[in-house]
Chain A
Amino acid sequence: MITLELFLNAVVAGLMLGGFYAAVALGLSITFGQLDIVNIAHPTFVILGSFVAYILNQNFGIDPVLIGVVFMPVFYYIGTTLYRVYYVSFERTGQESLSGLAFFFGLMFIIEVLLILTFGVDYRLVSAPYIGKTMHIGFLDLPYRMLVPALAATVMTGAVVLYMSKTFMGKAILAVSQDRLALQLMGADPIKVKRIALGIAIATASLAGALLIIIQPVEPSVGRLYIGRIFAIVVLGGMGSISGTFVAAILIGVVESFIATFYGPSWAPAVGFGILLLTLAFRPQGIFGRA
């Protein structure tokens, strides 16, 4: 039976879940949406972020969100290095479409295997004082395990949107996705711009990974479960639109939560993808995409 209490709680839970999805999809929105790089390994970098958070949380008791933020520069460096390899190996020779995809597939498996060899295959979890506790506002329940990741993801998305709209490099990243040649004619180096963009994309995986391990236990292959969902979010939001990705993530989160509460959890992913298909049918460029 649908009650107001259940309805509002489902919406709130969906908002929090969607916020977390936004954190995971944000990096892919930059690489896939703006740079046209099909980084299928992005969820694996998220898992890498989870393991970094796990190690430091278990050994030093540091808060996972803080770990995620502190390690963003390290992940940024990994991202820029990755772009150098990608550019020299594929993009420069125009082989990025198929060979590049194979490269990221391979990278995904290599990172997974390295994680398995290093940490084994057991499920890993983190501890934080807020995990397992709930904020109650009237009849609304807001578990901190979901609330903290949602807030952190919103702040991170806001920061990226600000960076993209207010800084020269941010605007250059948007420009490189639209007209690389024009950007080059303006005296900017598209390779450097893309390198920085991929660095930012991978940096977001550091925090997204930390948020993931707050929500659920993680083992090296968990990232694969997210591939379909986050690609769908990026496409639904509109390729290259960070705000669109955020809105799409929230939409998918709310729909999944609503369906899980009132109809049956098994239908939740199907309905989410159904929305994607419907949107593409009527608005092929996605919610915020440009025609």
Chain B
Amino acid sequence: MFSFRKIRYGLWAIAGLIVISLAFTPVTSAQSKNLKIGFSMALTGPLAGAGKAALIAMQIWKDDINKKGGLLGRQVEFKFYDDATSPSKVPGIYSKLLNVDKVDLVVSSYGTNEISPAMPIVMRKGLVFMSLFGLAVNDKFNYDRYFQIMPAGPIPKDDWSRGFFKLAMAQNPKPKSVALLAEDADFALSAVAGARRHAKRLGMKIVYDKTFPFGSPDVTSVMRAIKAANADLVYVGSYPGGSVGLVKAAAELGLKAKMFGGGMVGLQFAGIQKNLGPMLNGIVNYDFWVPEPTLNFPGVKDFLKKYQAGAKGKGVDPFGHYLPPYAYAYLQILGDAVTAVGNLDQGKIAAYIHKTTFTTVVGKVKFAKNGEWANTRTLQVQFRDVAANNMGQFNKPGKRIVLYPNSVKSGSIKYPYKQ
């Protein structure tokens, strides 16, 4: 027979069972809770191509680590937000990650401009901050829990262009003059500032030293002025749009410099490489990973296989040589450190990262005191024998010869640069 009293007793019984079960299982519940890693990422805006590629790599690491049982026995979960390549959005995102989402660990977005705004918030909480391709960010903060995965080296602004000038000065006759050109944004200006210091240190004559606005539609006039300056070396810091324009203008106007390139972002991406084709031949530019035998680190090919499968149809760089291995590696290092320490004590994790040489898909990584790589491995590669309309060629050895550093060198420079 229907009875309110019976229902009430039933509800009390259920509530009692819940209370008892909760009382006896708090430790188990806490342990099974996912370990949350929070970050902002440039998923729209000018740097979204790199940001999305990085995210694919990070998700591959997450899947790999979760298959192995996760970190500290907990499955890893990502909490991330699109910063739209807008530095002003970054502080709000990290505040939310830390105060609302209550993430356990944080890592950075992609690029100098997106990393710097997160630093004060991360520092206030005393968190370890693994960062992805920031150029000399810690110069301003001196934070001892900051670690940067791009292999720029311990003096990032100078190490970035060190290889370019070392190669140049090893030639006979030695170059005597240099033209410097920077696109008007943080990274490019920093890269060219380093090049300027090298040029002065080496006693070279700086015959052209200018900047051009970010996103300039046409740079033919700029290249014409550089050509007229008749410099032996042309060192450029630029972003993809500017880099493409400058390479095309150099080919169209017949630039006669002995070396051309340096810090041009974009020439690492397969779509741009395919379009520029033979115009790239002879250019010496920075890179971080190319499919040369000297850079065949354990695990990198397996990783790239997974990345290339994951990148299909996503409108990102199909080969993923430039950034993705490092986006995987910075989580690899964080994961290894957390596992070794056995808990989330940020001070202990930072101390462990400082003292350890990590084995990653980008090779052995050891950090200097300022959180940059202890030794630079910013590659200087030269484009060679590039054919027209063939993207596949860039996924094989022989098209980007590693000239510097000697530890991973795969060939010698062709000098002078010729179109």
Contacts and interface: CB of A to CB of B under 8 A. Distances in A.
Contacts of B314: 120
A10 B221 contact: yes
Contacts of B219: 260, 265
A217 B52 contact: no
Interface in A153-188: none
A70 interface: no
Interface in B31-81: 43-46, 48-49, 51-52
A212 B215 CA distance: 13
Contacts of A258: 221
Contacts of B220: 13, 17, 143, 146, 257
A132 B317 contact: no
Interface string A99-112: 00000000000001
A121 B315 contact: yes
A127 B275 CA distance: 7
Nearest to A265: B212
A231 B252 CA distance: 31
B272 A132 contact: no
Interface stretch (B93-101, B152-160, B239-247): B239-247
Interface residues of A, number: 50
Contact of A217 (B216, B240, B252, B316): B240
B317 to A, nearest CB: 6
A194 interface: no
A133 B215 contact: no
A116 B52 CA distance: 11
B271 A265 contact: no
B88 interface: no
B225 interface: yes
A264 interface: yes
The secondary-structure label for the interface of chain A is helix
Given A132-B279, A261-B221, A266 B213 contact: yes
Contacts of B404: none
Q: Which of A123, A145, A222 is packed against the most chain B CB atoms within 10 Å?
A: A123
Interface residues of B, number: 45
A189 B51 CA distance: 50
Interface string B247-269: 01101111000000000001001
A63 to B, nearest CB: 15
Interface string A9-37: 11001100100100000000000000000
B21 to A, nearest CB: 44
Interface string B304-325: 0000000000111100000000
A120 B52 contact: yes
A122 B251 CA distance: 23
A112 B251 CA distance: 32
A249 to B, nearest CB: 12
A95 interface: no
Given A260-B225, A266-B184, A216 B45 contact: no
B272 A125 contact: yes
Contact of A261 (B211, B225, B241, B252): B225
Contacts of B275: 125-127, 217
A269 B213 CA distance: 8
Contact of A146 (B215, B218, B241): B218
Given A222-B241, A264-B210, 5 more contacts: A17-B217, A122-B315, A122-B316, A123-B244, A215-B217
Interface of A: 1, 3, 6, 9-10, 13-14, 17, 20, 112-113, 116, 118-127, 131-134, 141, 143, 145-146, 212, 215-217, 219, 221-222, 225-226, 256-258, 260-262, 264-266, 268-269
Interface of B: 43-46, 48-49, 51-52, 184, 210-213, 215-222, 224-225, 228, 240-241, 244-245, 248-249, 251-254, 266, 269, 271-272, 275, 279, 314-317, 389
13 contacts: A112-B44, A122-B316, A123-B269, A134-B253, A215-B245, A216-B244, A216-B245, A219-B46, A219-B49, A221-B44, A257-B221, A258-B221, A266-B210
List 9 tightest A-B contacts by C-beta distance, closest first. Answer: A120-B315, A265-B212, A121-B48, A125-B275, A143-B252, A260-B221, A225-B215, A257-B221, A134-B252
